[in-house]
Amino acid sequence: MRLLRILRIAATTVAATTTGMINCALGRGERHPVLLKAGDPAPDFELPGSDGRRYRLSDLRGRDAVVIAWFPKAFTPGCTKECESLGTSRAVLGPLKVRYFGASVDTPETNRRFAASLGIDYPILSDPDRTAARAYGVIGRSGFPSRWTFYISRDGRIVEIDKHVRVTTHGTDVAARLTELAARGERHGVASTVGRAADTA
């Protein structure tokens, strides 16, 4: 099984790299991407998750902070490490009042298999027509999403965009950043962007 996984990662990486190079050469990527920043309303979306459910961002407004970790391609080395890191960080992410998702432009079936292969318990969203990815400005010249993570407050606004993701520690990095953002909100006397689950139960 481990050998098959390694072979699949290698084959997917070669295919994705080739596709990206072709897209760059032919100008198929996004030439004028949307430029979102902290304070902007997070674009709404309705996307299928790897768990078979559909998720609409607006349904979570007023209830939970949201983290969306866009990644380039399922079954590639960096994306595998990133999603594994989020999946193995449940102990530190669980106590936070936050919904977190992976997201890519892979098909729902691909992401379902990807999530199953990693044994993760959070949804990976699929955006194969790139509508949401374009709205978030993550599609680059290669035609694949950039590895960016969006932190979205309970009122539906972007709090921060992490464009320097460390794939091997992303889960604990997300938990640490959420805790910092919550503390910052409390220090400024405003409603915190995130909270402990016990605070809102």
pLDDT exceeds cutoff 70 at 29: no
Tokens (6 digits) for 186: 């409390």
- How does pLDDT run across 152-162, given as a tens digit for each residue? 999 999 999 99
Q: Nearest to residue 138, comparing CAs of 101, 177, 104, 164?
A: 104
Q: Nearest to residue 108, comparing CAs of 121, 125, 129?
A: 125
Total-model pTM: 0.82
pLDDT number for residue 115:
97
Give the pLDDT mean for 144-170: 96
Give catalytic residues, as residue numbers. 79
- How does pLDDT run across 48-89, given as a tens digit for each residue? 999 999 999 999 999 999 999 999 999 999 999 999 999 999
pLDDT exceeds cutoff 70 at 191: no
- Domains of the chain (ranges; CATH) run 2-200 (3.40.30.10)
Q: Which amino acid is at 196?
A: R
